[in-house]
Structure 1
Amino acid sequence: MNKWMSAEAAAASIPDGATVAITGSGGGLLEPDAVLAALETRFLQTGHPCNLTVVHALGVGDGQGSGLGRFAHAGMVKRVIGGHWVWSSAMQALAESGQIEGYSFPGGVIATLFREIGAGRPGVITRVGLRTFVDPRLGGGKLNAVTTEDLVELIEIGGDEYLRFKPIKIDFSIVMASSADDRGNLSTRREPADLDIYAVALAAHNSGGKVIAQVKGKSAGHVPARLVRVPGVMVDVTVETPAQRQCAISDYDATLSGESLGETADPDMPEGMRLIVAERAAQELGTNQSVNFGFGFPGAIPAVLAQQGRGSEYWGSVEQGIHRGAMLDGPMFGTARNADAIVPSVDQFDFYSGGGIDITFLGMGEFDQEGNVNVSKLGSTVVGPGGFMDIAQGARKIVFCGAFEAKGLRVQRKSDDSLEIVSPGSVPKAVKRVRHVTFSGLQARLDGKEVFYVTERAVFKLDPLGVRLIEVAKGIDMQKDVLARMEFAPLVDEHLLEASIAH
């Protein structure tokens, strides 16, 4: 029978060496931070629990110590398996220095793995991640030298290659919901997303583990069965947290949870380089297409489309399970006001990896001569792919968006719409070989995908022979500002060569 207890008592029930799965996404979505904070306090005071394994699908935390950051103390964890690491610089540092074992897997694969663990199936068998850094031939998702166990294997079914992500026994799941009744039935009716709460709870319960649920309060009266997201039979402990917020920007906003419609302000328009890239990338969107927008540069595109009066021309969605509505950007990426639908992220990733979108706009840390893209490891810092790989695998058309260079790059658009490079960047992003293969150009060619790389000064396209330069911005010298500043020589479209000769 479900028990109500304090966050401190719930934290005290987790022993050394346990494997803990948590819900959450950036901006405080379904982040059970009161329980995680109690765990952190207990460890700092007593040294327990220690040697934990933590598993999470999306980025959890605020970058200031919440979420995954609660575990980021030497000795508290021995292993982290995560989809997105950027919301805890302290945990990134532990992985980078080899103080913990670290794995970075696709967010959708991890969310689906929770479901498969709970269902008693042999892990996740998928094409997501083939020929990328999670493929055993390229490291198997391991982040450092102390990480040695193989959690992914390459298999063949019917003559085709797949990756099998192996199941993991989950001892405890820590989840967050809006409310619970005395039987432990959890409702997420007031949350901006459902994420993978059911799958995370299922993984622990059916592994013989325990489920701890943080909620804002007890349900007032009867909760309609349709509004119960996790049935009480799967919940062992409930922690009432009256101070719990809906998300980082709101105690409670019914337009975020989809419970009611409301007026929405015009989206904040991007500026500078983000605007330039977003405007060019938006040209690749056709009418009546199913589209996904990724985090970072692509998050600016919905605002551009709205300004252009094209907001109703497409069906937008993000991996957190949000369909349409006024998409939010920045730290609240993954939420929307007045959404058409909010579905579990596990179901959303099925939609993506199976080919449910026509086009996706994704970020780009660096790209190389083979068309590979890296967003998961920048320098020595692990970032993780989040939902990037799951989305790219299923999309028919992929538009990567980013700056041509990094560190110090400043550009200015003149009154005649020509581009001036005020100061160049000191770090090239068009490199001979990316540090981490988050997207495989070879696999994309084998799958027949249409792939573009949009920067503020040039646009490239992946074709059967390699990466081809197809467009140069007005005011940009192709040789001096583009080709001479790349670490590889791309193919160049014939019309650009002719224009260069004529000039």
Structure 2
Amino acid sequence: MEKFFPEINTILNQLQVTHEKKNKVVSAEEAVRVIRNGDTIVFGGFAGVGVCEEIAGALEQYYLETGNPRDLTLMFAVATGPGNDTRRGLNHLAHEGLLSRIIGGHWGLAPCIQKLAVENKVLAYNLPQGIISHMYRNIASGKAGLFSQVGLGTFVDPRNGGGKLNEKTTEDVVRLMEIDDDEYLFYKALPVNVAVIRGTTADTDGNITMEKEALTLESLSIAMAARNSGGLVIVQVERVARAGTLSSRQVKIPGILVDCVVVARPENHWQTFGEPYNPAFSGEVEIPMQSIPPIPMDCRKIIARRAAFELKPNCVVNLGIGVPEGVSSVANEEKILDFMNMTAEPGVIGGLPAGGINFGAAVNAAALIDQPYQFDFYNGGGVDVAFLGMAEADRAGCVNVSKFGPKLAGAGGFINISQNSKKVVFMGTFTAGGMEYIIEDGRIVIQKEGKFRKFVEQVQHITFSGPYASKSGRKILYITERCVFELGSDGPELVEIAPGADLQKDILDHMDFMPVIREPLKLMDERIFYPAKMGLKEDLLDISLENRITYDPATNIMFANLAGYAVKSANDVRAIGETIANLLAPLSHKAYAIGNYDQFVIDPDLIDAYSAMQQTLVEKYFCKVSRYSTSAFLRMKLGDALEKRGVPPHIYESPEEAHKFLRN
């Protein structure tokens, strides 16, 4: 600690706030006085959630009164703020002189600090949210930085600017490196001198619990980073308990990491900027999902409804902020929310993610984990389908959501998620700025076009690289209220058009480039444009066997989609076998086969009969078979039964693994 704060013990002793030797409770005004000129200060929190309002306000007031501290480096994964220029959240720190450098992930809800960067008054960097979240762990463990492929091809890539946001910023903090013929980015670490984080309850030894917090974020990693940099950790809480009275199971930040505890006034410790306290956000109660009202039938809902067709049973979903928030609402209206797993990057798994100023929290979440672990999962490809915003898209399929002239939103977790999810769905209106339309009789009619085109020749900022993504072979969609594009080898291909939309007048005339038009051009499902429920639950689960089992002559692959199918009788076993036999018997050769067994249910007494049926099919019709299911139990039970009959099970956890087996 003495490395960065040689006088800290003297300062804390002078505060004269202790009633006993280990009491770490101080006022916000006293805590901020130990911040020195030139320090690097990290603030926790996520948008409008978990804001350290008491401490941020005290730091601003101290600077305005004394002119100190000066020249701070501010670092955050997601800036806290109300979304306007009200002095709340990190907007408190938006003073030239107080800050000299800002390194942030998502800047969107703190426009006052955006302004400092845009006006060239501070050094400013935008790095991926997941990179910053992981960087705290690497700083804590003494690493020089972080290697990752996240950011390649985007504005974070040194070949495209290296994350620098203005002319004043010249120093490189990101380097391009090659390891075993693969490209990586190296993100340079820096010591953390002051950490400002938040909890619910502290004891006088500084142990922190988070029982009423909507998110736990990377608070533990931030505290460790500061402590192991020789820095200071300040924690804002709601209340204080006597030392030794907190349950060790509930302590999220141990007292050995904490220097100062600040008890906030109630008005400065809301659970989110939108809710003083909602027990459903912190997992203390569950609310009935039917009590959540449907969203209005407008173009944003039209986009969300079309996107919801990309949901599959048992899929893991990420939802971005803005238009994508509507997908969870549509899934709830359609009664299919329980058949998939919604997630959000700050650590929410399951439930219904919240929107607006509460974004990041969730109602009835199944689990809440620390943000760095969520990005471990995301970076490794754990998301089956990501629904993300789209402010601009260009001829190459690149997307910009991070910077537009004087507006600086920042990338947030967009780069991590879009680069690593198995399927990506970008969502946004076709034009922006005053578009007027009506939705009637299952059609959309554009009455007045928006002022600003969103499909441009070249985006201003590459937050998603189309050329980099096209190499992966993943499905990438761009969904608007009037048409749908899919990323192809030559950029976005127009694949669907809305009923009522005119191809030339409503689409091509308002694009800066001519897209590839895939023939035949399909109509978007007309159910999207009627206010009644679309029947997605029936689409997901009540599919006839004939529609579940298909054969593609071009690849010679039979696909059996048995997701959510229940085998309850010998007749069900016989029906599956006969349907496959009727489809493949006319062929003069054997076919490859792949089966989707996600949420497949079979009576235990029928497993042997089912395996016998599969054995017959393998002998007569299949040259090679693979299967997949996320259920380890089903993989084991069905695999054992098939092996007993001499049938290699080849049951994998993901469709990618199953398809790879067939190709090899």
- Kindly provide the CA deviation profile for residues 418-439 of structure 1, in whole angstroms up to 9, marking residues without a partner as x: 1111210111000000000000
Alignment of 1:228-377 (within 5 A): 228-243=251-266, 244-264=269-289, 265-377=291-403
- Kindly provide the CA deviation profile for residues 342-365 of structure 1, in whole angstroms up to 9, marking residues without a partner as x: 000111111111111110000001
Kindly indicate whether residue 479 of structure 2 is the aligned counterpart of residue 437 of structure 1: no
Structure with bigger gyration radius: 2
AA of the residue aligned to 1:444: A
Q: Which has the higher contact order (CA 8 A, sep 6+)?
A: 1
AA of the residue aligned to 2:371: S
Between 1:431-440 and 1:380-389, the stretch displaced more is: 380-389
Contact preservation (8 Å) 1:2, 1:236: no
Aligned to 2:44: 23
SS at match of 1:297: coil
Contact preservation (8 Å) 2:401, 2:410: yes
Gaps of 5+ in 2: 1-21, 524-664
Contact preservation (8 Å) 1:270, 1:300: no
Offset, 1:326:
2.5
AA of the residue aligned to 1:425: G
SS at match of 2:116: helix
AA of the residue aligned to 1:237: C
Structure 1 pair 255–273 and aligned structure 2 pair: CA distance change class (3 A): same
Kindly indicate whether residue 203 of structure 2 is the aligned counterpart of residue 172 of structure 1: no
Structure 1 pair 297–91 and aligned structure 2 pair: CA distance change class (3 A): same
- Kindly provide the CA deviation profile for residues 45-98 of structure 1, in whole angstroms up to 9, marking residues without a partner as x: 111111110000013111322111011012110011111111122211111110
Between 1:66-75 and 1:433-442, the stretch displaced more is: 66-75
Aligned to 2:10: none
Instruction: Give me the whole-angstrom Cα distance separating, in 1, the residues matched to 2:278 and 2:504.
Output: 52
Instruction: Give me the whole-angstrom Cα distance separating, in 2, the residues matched to 1:305 and 1:261.
Output: 18
- Kindly provide the CA deviation profile for residues 389-409 of structure 1, in whole angstroms up to 9, marking residues without a partner as x: 111122010000001111111
Kindly indicate whether residue 246 of structure 2 is the aligned counterpart of residue 223 of structure 1: yes
Aligned to 1:197: 219
Instruction: Give me the whole-angstrom Cα distance separating, in 2, the residues matched to 1:2 and 1:353.
Output: 41
Kindly indicate whether residue 500 of structure 2 is the aligned counterpart of residue 475 of structure 1: yes
Offset, 1:412:
1.5
Aligned to 1:501: none
Give 2:486's match in structure 1, choosing from 431, 454, 461.
461
Offset, 1:222:
2.3
Offset, 1:140:
0.5
Instruction: Give me the whole-angstrom Cα distance separating, in 2, the residues matched to 1:70 and 1:497.
Output: 51
AA of the residue aligned to 2:505: K
Instruction: Give me the whole-angstrom Cα distance separating, in 2, the residues matched to 1:33 and 1:339.
Output: 25
Structure 1 pair 288–141 and aligned structure 2 pair: CA distance change class (3 A): same
Instruction: Give me the whole-angstrom Cα distance separating, in 2, the residues matched to 1:268 and 1:151.
Output: 45
Kindly indicate whether residue 496 of structure 2 is the aligned counterpart of residue 496 of structure 1: no
Contact preservation (8 Å) 2:124, 2:166: yes
Relative to the length of structure 1, the TM-score reads 0.96
- Kindly provide the CA deviation profile for residues 242-261 of structure 1, in whole angstroms up to 9, marking residues without a partner as x: 41222223333322111333
AA of the residue aligned to 1:147: T
Give 2:473's match in structure 1, choosing from 430, 437, 448.
448
Aligned to 1:89: 111
Instruction: Give me the whole-angstrom Cα distance separating, in 2, the residues matched to 1:317 and 1:337.
Output: 11
- Kindly provide the CA deviation profile for residues 188-224 of structure 1, in whole angstroms up to 9, marking residues without a partner as x: 1110110110111111111111101111111367222
Offset, 1:272:
1.2
Aligned to 1:44: 64
Give 1:151's match in structure 2, choosing from 140, 156, 173.
173
Relative to the length of structure 2, the TM-score reads 0.73
Instruction: Give me the whole-angstrom Cα distance separating, in 1, the residues matched to 2:23 and 2:417.
Output: 37
- Kindly provide the CA deviation profile for residues 87-126 of structure 1, in whole angstroms up to 9, marking residues without a partner as x: 1222111111101111111111111101111111121211
Structure 1 pair 493–79 and aligned structure 2 pair: CA distance change class (3 A): same
Give 2:55's match in structure 1, choosing from 35, 52, 60.
35
Instruction: Give me the whole-angstrom Cα distance separating, in 1, the residues matched to 2:271 and 2:522.
Output: 55
Instruction: Give me the whole-angstrom Cα distance separating, in 2, the residues matched to 1:369 and 1:96.
Output: 27
Contact preservation (8 Å) 1:2, 1:235: no
